[in-house]
Structure 1
Amino acid sequence: MRTIITIVTIVIILCGGSFASYQYITTATGTMGTLLESVENSITVEKWEKADEELNITQKKWEDNNMWWSILLDHQAIDNIDINLKRLEKHIGVQDISESLGELTTLKLLFEQISGAEMFTLENIF
């Protein structure tokens, strides 16, 4: 009987941790998506200084979350986001609207994929 209680307790802890990490990832990706939307809006109207400021805020938020993301996620996904953020920074610096919007689209897709990959579904389990 003790063994069953121990196993059930461990399963509950694992499920609770999984749910908590999913909630954290979902919230964080939503926040990053919102920040990227504001950068995109500034680029679209060619307000480059504002876009640069908003990108700096986005990068700061990313750095704040990066430690937890490193624990919870695949490092390749984190590296891809880091690379695309740096590319976006350079494209904004030279005021290249098409390349900037392309990098933004890629970043948004990366965050959406992370959120979807962490969802508790049969497809992700198997």
Structure 2
Amino acid sequence: MRHILIVVLVLALIIAGDVGAYRYLKTTSASLNSEVKSMVDYISKGQWEQATASADALRREWGKRKSAWSILVDHKEIDEIEQSLIRAEYYIKTKNKSMSLAESKTLSSIIEHIPDNQLFSIENIL
């Protein structure tokens, strides 16, 4: 009986940890994506200074979140975010509207799908 209780307790801790990690990733990805959205809005309007400021704010926000995300998320996905952010910043700097928008949308898509990939489900196990 004692062994069963220990197994149940460990399983409950694993599930609680997974739920906590998912909620953290969901919350922080929403925050990052809101910054990407404002960046896209500025790019669409051709407001390059504001787009640059928004990209800088996104870079700072990502800097705060990156270390925690590195613990919870596959490093390949962290690298994809980094590379996409670098490309978006460069396209904004060169005022290339179509490439800036495309890369910003790519970055948003990467950030958006990460919490769902980390969710404990049969689909992610198989």
Same fold (TM over 0.5): yes
Per-residue CA deviation, residues 73-116 of structure 1 (Å, 9 max, x unaligned), is 00000001101101111111110000100101110111122122
Q: Residues of 1 paired with 2:10 and 2:115: CA distance?
A: 25
1:114 lines up with 2:124 in the alignment: no
Q: Which amino acid counterpart does residue 76 of structure 2 have in structure 1?
A: Q
Residue 3 of structure 1: how far off its partner (Å) = 0.8
Q: Which amino acid counterpart does residue 46 of structure 1 have in structure 2?
A: G
Q: Which amino acid counterpart does residue 15 of structure 1 have in structure 2?
A: I
Equivalent in the alignment of 2:55: 55
Residue 37 of structure 1: how far off its partner (Å) = 0.3
Residue 125 of structure 1: how far off its partner (Å) = 2.1
Q: Which amino acid counterpart does residue 19 of structure 2 have in structure 1?
A: F
Count of residue pairs brought into register by the alignment: 126
Equivalent in the alignment of 1:37: 37
Q: RMSD of the TM alignment (CA)?
A: 0.9
Q: Which amino acid counterpart does residue 9 of structure 2 have in structure 1?
A: T
Is the 8 Å Cα contact of residues 18 and 119 (structure 2) preserved in structure 1?
no
Residue 4 of structure 1: how far off its partner (Å) = 1.1
In structure 1, stretches of 5+ residues that fail to align are none
Q: Residues of 2 paired with 1:74 and 1:120: CA distance?
A: 15
1:24 lines up with 2:24 in the alignment: yes
Residue 119 of structure 1: how far off its partner (Å) = 2.3
Q: Residues of 2 paired with 1:112 and 1:123: CA distance?
A: 17
Aligned with 1:46: secondary structure?
Answer: coil
Q: Residues of 2 paired with 1:106 and 1:46: CA distance?
A: 19
Q: Residues of 2 paired with 1:14 and 1:61: CA distance?
A: 28
Q: Residues of 1 paired with 2:98 and 2:57: CA distance?
A: 22
Q: Which amino acid counterpart does residue 51 of structure 1 have in structure 2?
A: A
Per-residue CA deviation, residues 36-95 of structure 1 (Å, 9 max, x unaligned), is 000000000011000111111111111100011000000000001101101111111110
Q: Residues of 2 paired with 1:103 and 1:88: CA distance?
A: 5
